[in-house]
Amino acid sequence: MKKERLYKSNISTARWIAYDLPGNIGWILYFVGLILLFVNSSDYMEDAVMSLLSVISVIPAVLMIVGIIELISERIQGLDWTLPGVRLLRGFGALTLGGILGTAAAAVMLIFAAIITVGNLLYVWLMLAGGILCGLFAGLLYKQYKPVEK
């Protein structure tokens, strides 16, 4: 059986915190914006395209949840600095991809909302800001992991 490749990070605790906090704020903002979008934005749901875009914007949230659950599991098992490749992808990879896709979904929603002049865009702006923060800072943490040389 082939042994899985390990990835290790030598990031300082201060830098970890500097990347981790805005990344966490990002996924929280994305979720708050997404939830408020579904709860308070009936004008979005009246338009078929905006309604579809709102539903599609759940996909990045699912990826973010996968990443969050994986990172919590890694923390519980004490795997913060050395990770198997699969766990690295499931954690920081999923969060990074979720942030990137969330940014794209929110940007498309903002563009389309401007075309059809939908009312309150605050929730979509929260999603955009959250997607950017999550994707950027989870990506920065992801990039800190390098393959362990045998």
pLDDT at 42 over 90: no
Q: Does the residue 1 lie in any domain?
A: no
Rounded to the nearest 10 degrees, the angle between the axes of helix 48-56 and helix 94-116 is 170
Letter for the amino acid at 149? E
* Residue 13 token pair: 């605790």
Provide the domain limits for residue 36. Answer: 13-143
Does residue 35 lie in a domain region?
A: yes
Q: Looking at the domain assignment, is residue 149 inside a domain?
A: no
CA distance linking residue 86 with residue 142, whole number of Å: 12
| Residue 7: inside a domain | no
3 belongs to a structural domain: no
pLDDT of residue 115: 84
Q: Is 137 domain-assigned?
A: yes
Average pLDDT over residues 28-40: 93
pTM of the full structure = 0.91
- In the chain, % helix, strand, coil (3-state, to 5) comes to 75, 5, 15
Distance (Å, whole) CA 142 – CA 145 = 6
Q: Would residue 150 count as lying in a domain?
A: no
Number of domains, the chain: 1
Structure confidence at residue 3 as a pLDDT band (50, 70, 90)? confident
Report residue 8 as tokens.
């290790």
Instruction: Give, in order, the Cα–Cα distances in Å from 81 to each of 7, 12, 31, 52, 146.
Output: 8, 10, 27, 39, 10
**pLDDT number for residue 79:** 81
Q: pLDDT tier at 1 (50, 70, 90 boundaries)?
A: low
Which has the minimum average pLDDT: 72-81, 91-100, 111-120? 111-120
